[in-house]
Amino acid sequence: MRRFLCALMLLAMVSCGTVQENDVDAARVRAAVERMLSDYPQSTLQDIYKSFFQDRFGPGHIVADTARAAAYLRRELAVAGDTAMLLYEPTGDYGNYVRVALAVVSSGKVSLDKYLSCFLRSVREVQPVEVEWWAAEWAGIKRVIDGMSLNLPNYTEETIAIEKMLSSGHYAVHHSERYNNHYAPHYRIMAKDIFEAEILPLIAE
């Protein structure tokens, strides 16, 4: 009930244009967006949104069934082909989490058990998503992006879609079709400290 009422309030605020912006580090946001577009020039606003969201909340959900998560990961590894992703990359503007490509496993650099363990322990650190706070945070980030004149494809449409999603109390998006077609992403999110201590040394060998 509380989530439903909060969603109604947020919907009214977005409709009236009264969602407050959180203060963000504009220089840091710009640098992060420039990095994303340098690495993945086919990104859209939806993909940029996803990276900033992941930086604040990791995967954005708790994995309740570890056996199921392991089975799904094995199935994905079996069907994942070549990827144009980097082996690893920081999320958003603070790099609180790291996207780690499944290619580190398929290449033999990291064992499946180690990869899965690091992912699941990272998920346990995930904090609940407060949609109202995140909507205000995104509004601040988006203001900086607006000022960058990036000429991203479908910018207006995706702006509206994201605002509508947040106003309904939801927050999760997939990568854009454009991004998927160009980069074939297959990865999991890991906490920065876990990644640097346990995965990065194996990749660097």
**Is residue 26 over pLDDT 70?**
yes
> Residue ranges of the domains in the chain?
21-128+141-151+173-204
Q: What pLDDT shows up at residue 193?
A: 97
Kindly state the helix (H) or strand (E) to which residue 104 belongs, with its residue range. helix 103-106
CA distances from 117 to 3, 50, 98, 120, 127 (A): 31, 23, 15, 5, 19
Q: What is the mean pLDDT of residues 89-112?
A: 97
- Is a pLDDT exceeding 80 seen at residue 19? no
The span from the CA of 162 to the CA of 171, in Å, is 8
pLDDT of residue 124: 83
Instruction: Name the band, by pLDDT with cuts 50, 70 and 90, for residue 1.
Output: very low
Strand arrangement of the beta sheet that strand 187-191 belongs to: 88-90, 97-101, 187-191
Which pLDDT band, with edges at 50, 70 and 90, does 59 fall under?
confident
pLDDT of residue 138: 98
Average confidence (pLDDT) over 154-177 = 96
Q: What is the pLDDT of residues 172-201, one digit of tens each?
A: 999 999 999 999 999 999 999 999 999 999
| Residue 129 pLDDT grade (very low, low, confident, very high; cuts 50, 70, 90) | confident
User: What was the pLDDT predicted at 150?
Assistant: 97
Q: Which of 19-23, 27-31, 48-52, 160-164 is predicted least confidently?
A: 19-23
Q: Report the pLDDT averaged over residues 21-40.
A: 97
Mean pLDDT of 41-49: 98
| Cα 36 to Cα 60: distance, rounded to the nearest angstrom | 20
Query: Is the pLDDT confidence value at 78 over 70?
Result: yes
Strands, E, within the chain: which ranges?
88-90, 97-101, 187-191
Number of H helices and E strands in the chain, helices first, is 11, 3
Mean pLDDT of the 134-153 span: 97
Candidates 35, 43, 88, 81; CA nearest to 180 is: 43
Mean pLDDT over each residue of the chain, to the nearest integer: 89
What would the mean pLDDT of 114-124 be, rounded to a whole number? 93
Q: Is the pLDDT of residue 146 over 80?
A: yes
Pairing of strands 88-90, 97-101: antiparallel
Phi, psi of 189 (to 5 degrees): -95, 135
Question: Whose CA is closest to 184, among 106, 83, 101, 99?
Answer: 83
Q: What is residue 19's DSSP assignment?
A: P
In DSSP terms, which residues pair with 191 in a beta bridge?
Answer: 97
